[in-house]
């Protein structure tokens, strides 16, 4: 806790160029954090850094989380640039076309697994290496799960399977991190209004086969939730946090 009180804390946000990652990065920067923004598209990262008006506290570093060597190089570069890493928001993710599972191609399946599961593990692994070695020791990891980590949507087997796996990563890493003062938690988001989720306002397939529009929440609310989790002392952890549109069809028999 002494580190947080004497110097700006350092966060690394994956998938920071758009959507939830962008919202979380902006919320952390507004809260005084130093933030490494990473993703595949450097131009989008630069736009977020400029929008934040945070100056040198925003550091755009393009990287591909599906490449374990690139991930290790990313964490080494951020730790060297800022001196440490206090927070990883493990956010990068992708989906597959909403098709019947028997029509999903091998490449489509592997692409989702490579980002949502493998990429998330590479980032957790690299964060552990940095956080165990730095002084003061420790840090926090927040994995971006999904309400799909609890219940599926129709025709979403790759996304749903990987998000269930993320919950396993969170539990196992939370246990393994205790010894090293590393707190690991997960945020599960339902219907945040991002570029990718815009189509849901026009109608999305329901479990009963109907097409219906669904309520959305401003993505900035998710950024606030990440900031809340990040601001906790390492002696406290939100293991699972669900933030969603109040009236979306998630609970009940809809």
Angle in degrees, CA 163, 164, 169, rounded to 5: 90
pTM: 0.94
- What does the radius of gyration of the chain's CA atoms come to, in whole angstroms? 18
Beta bridge partners of 206: none
CA gap 146, 216 in Å, rounded: 14
CATH dotted code for 2-244: 3.40.50.720
Whether the per-residue pLDDT at 165 is higher than 90: the answer is yes
Question: Distance (Å, rounded) from C-alpha 45 to C-alpha 34?
Answer: 14
| pLDDT 10s digits, 4-53 | 446 789 999 999 999 999 999 999 999 999 999 999 999 999 999 999 99
Distance CA 64, CA 78 (A): 15
3 state SS of 106: helix
Which residue in the list 115, 159, 166, 190 is annotated as catalytic? 159
The predicted structure's pLDDT at residue 1: 40
Specify the pLDDT at position 155. Answer: 93
179 sits in the region (left: phi over 0; alpha: psi -120 to 50; else beta) called alpha
**Confidence at 145, pLDDT banded by 50, 70, 90:** very high
- Indicate if 228 belongs to the active site: no
Q: For residue 199, what pLDDT is reported?
A: 74
- Classified as helix, coil or strand, 172 is helix
Contact assessment for residue 186 and residue 240, using Cβ atoms and an 8 Å cutoff: yes
Rounded average pLDDT over 181-195: 93
Q: Could you tell me the residue ranges of all domains in the chain? A: 2-244
């Amino acid at each position: 806790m002494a580190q947080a009180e004497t110097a700006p804390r350092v966060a690394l946000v994956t998938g920071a160029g758009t959507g939830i990652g962008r919202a979380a990065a902006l919320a952390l920067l507004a809260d005084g954090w130093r933030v490494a923004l990473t993703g595949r598209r450097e131009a989008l990262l630069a736009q977020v850094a400029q929008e934040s008006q945070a100056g040198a506290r925003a550091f755009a570093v393009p990287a591909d989380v599906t490449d374990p060597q690139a991930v290790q190089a990313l964490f080494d570069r951020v730790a060297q640039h800022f001196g440490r890493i206090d927070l990883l928001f493990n956010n990068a993710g992708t989906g597959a076309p909403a098709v019947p599972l028997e029509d999903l191609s091998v490449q489509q399946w592997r692409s989702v697994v490579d980002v949502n599961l493998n990429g998330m593990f590479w980032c957790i692994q690299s964060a552990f290496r940095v956080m165990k070695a730095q002084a003061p020791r420790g840090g926090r990891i927040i994995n971006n799960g999904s309400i799909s980590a609890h219940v599926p949507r129709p025709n979403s087997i790759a996304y749903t399977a990987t998000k269930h796996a993320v919950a396993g990563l969170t539990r196992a890493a939370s246990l393994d991190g205790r010894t090293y003062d590393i707190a690991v938690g997960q945020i599960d988001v339902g219907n945040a209004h991002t570029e990718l989720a815009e189509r849901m306002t026009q109608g999305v397939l329901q479990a009963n086969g109907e097409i219906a529009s669904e309520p959305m929440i401003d993505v900035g609310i998710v950024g606030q939730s990440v900031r809340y989790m990040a601001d906790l002392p390492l002696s406290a952890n939100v293991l699972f946090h669900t933030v969603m549109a109040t009236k979306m069809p998630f609970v009940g028999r809809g």
